[in-house]
Amino acid sequence: MQPLKGVTVVTLEHAIAAPYCTRHLADLGARVIKVERPGSGDFARGYDQRVRGLASHFVWTNRSKESLTLDVKHPGAAALLERLVLEKADVLVQNLAPGAAARLGLGHDRLSGLKPSLIVCDISGYGSDGPYRDKKAYDLLIQGEAGFLSVTGTLETPSKAGISIADIAAGMYAYSNVLAALIERQRTGAGRRIDISMLEALAEWTGFPLYYAFDGAPQPQRTGASHATIFPYGPFPTGADGGSVMFGLQNEREWVSFCEKVLLRAELATDARFTGNANRVANQVQLRGLIEDAFRPLTAPQLVERLEAAQIANARVNTMQQLWDHEQLHSRDRWSEVPSPSGVLPALVPPGLQPGEPRMDAIPALGQHTDAILAELGLASADIAALRDAGAI
């Protein structure tokens, strides 16, 4: 399934938010031309060398793209970039520093007059106006600004998410808005500007604690891997093997089953201290003690067996290696392969798509497609060589 086949995306991107958006567009068949700085490229290429010499972030977010190197501050390269956008692009995506795209002549106000059908997606930390417009932003900083850190971690220590959650949120909203704009353009023929803010994206994802603190009410406390407002919900130790099992209860039917089949303490189901989630949260210190006492003679597999029998949702706390090896992902054939400059690499099939449906093409070497793309614009080999000698590409 490649519904975006025939759509061309030109992107001036780095790090995660924009590359994550455009990789998903490429997965659906779009041609994505990634404009990079000659010599160094997207700075995410240099984050690490964990994937056979390639950077883990870059491998994750850049398959199925073409790499074109242009020094956009060089007059000759800037003119070529404008031609590329006006002649080839259906969508322009950028997450350069605040105001940089407009200074390069790539703002929507200018481009829409030259190509009304063009969709321009700008991704930034705080949006295109307001008092924070020119403020630089990175994922961890937005986690702080969006209140995410205030509800994540332990009582003693705020903790960042282990993944780039603000970047991912912004990238996914950029992706969905581009898809919507393409559908709209089919009806109207007109493009549009999309203004994606990392702060607004993560603030939307923080909607539950935001509303929980509505009208000045206290916000959820940081509770580590446990749930701030539901109990029991989170990791609990097993005494016989030093293991840990995560599980959660969502309703009173599950609470009764948990008492009868897991704790083997049916009388607790009607104990007034623990009737209803609000009471269990209020009295969680006492309840945790009772739960840990019941789990002390058990191993983690024995506890999982009881939880399964009681139809209580549970999970392991897996390492990354256990995720690589996860039997559910393998049984559903969720792994594929992509070529790269370092050889063939494994890659997850995107959610919602079946094996063989998404485009899973190579991760590009820096500037790998420069000559071919410039030849499409009509440049002769000698012209391309001259641009290279001038440092423009």
- Amino acid symbol at 139: D
Can you give the pLDDT at residue 317? 84
Name the helix (H) or strand (E) containing 102.
Answer: helix 100-103
CATH for 233-316, among 3.30.70.20, 3.30.1540.10, 2.60.40.10, 2.30.30.240? 3.30.1540.10
Give the CA-trace dihedral at 113, 115, 121, 124, to 10 degrees: -40
CA distance 148 to 143: 5
The three-class DSSP label of residue 139 is helix
Q: Where are the domains of the chain?
A: 8-206+331-389, 233-316
Task: Report residue 160 as tokens.
Answer: 């960042």
Q: Which CATH fold would you assign to the domain 8-206+331-389?
A: Rossmann fold (3.40.50)
DSSP-assigned letter for residue 296: T
Q: Which residues of 266-281 are buried (b: 16+ CB within 10 A; e: fewer)?
A: eebbebeebeebeebb
pLDDT at 264: 97
Amino acid at 341: P
Q: What is the C-alpha to C-alpha distance for residues 352 and 354, in angstroms, rounded to an integer?
A: 7
Average pLDDT, the chain: 95
Amino acid 393: pLDDT = 94
Give Cβ neighbours of residue 42 (< 8 Å, ≥ 6 apart).
13, 14, 15, 19, 34, 36, 58, 62
Dihedral pair phi/psi, residue 77, rounded to 5°: -70, -40
Residue ranges with strand state E in the chain: 8-12, 31-36, 65-69, 91-94, 119-124, 193-197, 233-238, 243-248, 314-315, 335-338, 345-348
pLDDT at 226: 87
Contact 313, 248 (CB under 8 A): yes
> Which regions in the chain score pLDDT beneath 50?
none
Instruction: Please state, as a whole number, how many other Cβ atoms lie within 10 Å of the Cβ of residue 202.
Output: 24
Backbone angles phi, psi at 241, to 5 degrees: -130, 5
198 CB-near residues (< 8 Å, 6+ apart): 17, 123, 124, 125, 126, 137, 139, 142, 166, 167, 169, 170
Q: What would the pLDDT profile of 210-235 be if each residue is shown by its tens digit?
A: 999 999 999 999 988 888 889 999 99
